[in-house]
Amino acid sequence: MQVHSDVCVVGDGVIGRAAALGFAQAGLKVSLLSHPAGGRASLIEDEWDARVYAINHVAHKVLSSLKVWDALDASRISPVDSMVVKGDGQSMPGVLAFDAYGARVDTLAWIVEERNLNQALDAALRFASNIQRVHGRAVRLSTGADAAHVELDNGSCLSAALLVGADGRQSWVRAQCGIDIDYRPYGQHAVVTNFACEQPHRDTAYQWFSPHEGIIALLPLPGRRVSLVWSAPDALADVLQQESAHQLAARVSAACGRQLGELTPLPPQTVRSFPLALIRPHALTAPRVALIGDAAHVVHPLAGHGMNLGFADVAALVHIVAGREAHRDCGDARVLSRYVRARKEDILLMQLATDGLARLFSIDFEPVRVVRNIGLSLVNQLPGLKRRLIGHALGRAP
């Protein structure tokens, strides 16, 4: 099978599917390469996905423009109206709090399950007439003067003026293009699962920092439910993975000072983990190729913005490709250079911020602990600085 399109998207995760829809809405012919069926078991209706995302305002705008936001199951989405960050001091614990009122917005973010996003995106893909979804495994990538070509293990070939690599942190597209990366592991795993909580969370996201135990975040889910994201040192993460769901719930409740009372596991009581690292590719583009999402950048999840960076990539790339001059095709070098310029600053700032905070709060040295907790509390007393910080977290439209 030979498939020719204006844009070929490799990778069918949330960001890849969103990119395919965005290009299709811009009037382009799109092919979306999906891996062969298989992998994670599906969840039943009353179970909660262990993988959730904090969607900021840029991501919300992208999903709304794709007509996907209103297709989400609203009963499984929780707004984040406030956020409380707590340091690790004993006598002088630092505290930094944000709220939607102070940020002059209706809500700071929305917590959405990965399953909810994928189901809504799949529904939209089924109704998109100019998207061809192809299943197979890519084995070879080549580029020519007019197109990029992807050969599949079943003998099929996909060709397009622009190839978009949306295939994750271990991107095959990035490797095929010979794009080197800077890779630095954090020595941590993110341990994720969901709990019911005894006390109401009042749509508040909580985060605790500790040099010994890492970073614990409890994100609000609908009702008295929360999602755990524990960025734990590798040795501790191994212990957490070996504990029962009830043992983990008791440990988290104690580590968080019983902020939300007793925690109990939510079905299916699945605990997942994934290694944390800073990944910085040396380039966002190659001839006729653009990288988006985790293929383009991987940051520490302490700020919850990895997925949001990907949605901003989608918005920028679709906007730039759709607005190109008539004499340029989708993969023109000038068009790709505009994408690089549009995304460079935002990505760099998020990399510096998340990496700097992760390093700062991993230092187990009393003078540093005192200074960083004083710093948290000082920022909390400066409304102008807080507004600037939260404004960046909400996202800037490209």
Q: Please give the residue range of the domain that contains residue 230.
A: 2-39+49-360
Contact 296, 15 (CB under 8 A): no
Tell me if 67 is assigned to some domain.
yes
How open is the CA angle 81-19-144, to the nearest 5 degrees?
A: 150
DSSP states along 249-290: HHHHHHHTTTTTS-EEEPTT---EEEEEEEEEES-SEETTEE
Residues 224 and 165: their CA atoms lie apart, in Å, by 38
Question: Residue 52: is its pLDDT beyond 60?
Answer: yes
What is the reported pLDDT for 13? 95
Tell me if 300 is assigned to some domain.
yes
pTM above 0.85, yes or no: yes
In this predicted model, what pLDDT tens digit does every residue of 86-130 receive, in sequence order?
A: 877 555 567 888 888 877 889 999 999 999 999 999 999 999 989
Domain count, the chain: 1
| CATH classification of the domain holding 81 | 3.50.50.60
Tell me if 387 is assigned to some domain.
no
Tell me if 392 is assigned to some domain.
no
Tell me if 379 is assigned to some domain.
no
Tell me if 368 is assigned to some domain.
no
Tell me if 191 is assigned to some domain.
yes
In this predicted model, what pLDDT tens digit does every residue of 135-192 receive, in sequence order?
A: 999 999 999 999 999 999 999 999 999 999 999 999 999 999 999 999 999 999 999 9
The whole-number average pLDDT for the span 344-362 is 86
Tell me if 222 is assigned to some domain.
yes
Closest CA to 226 of 206, 255, 254: 206
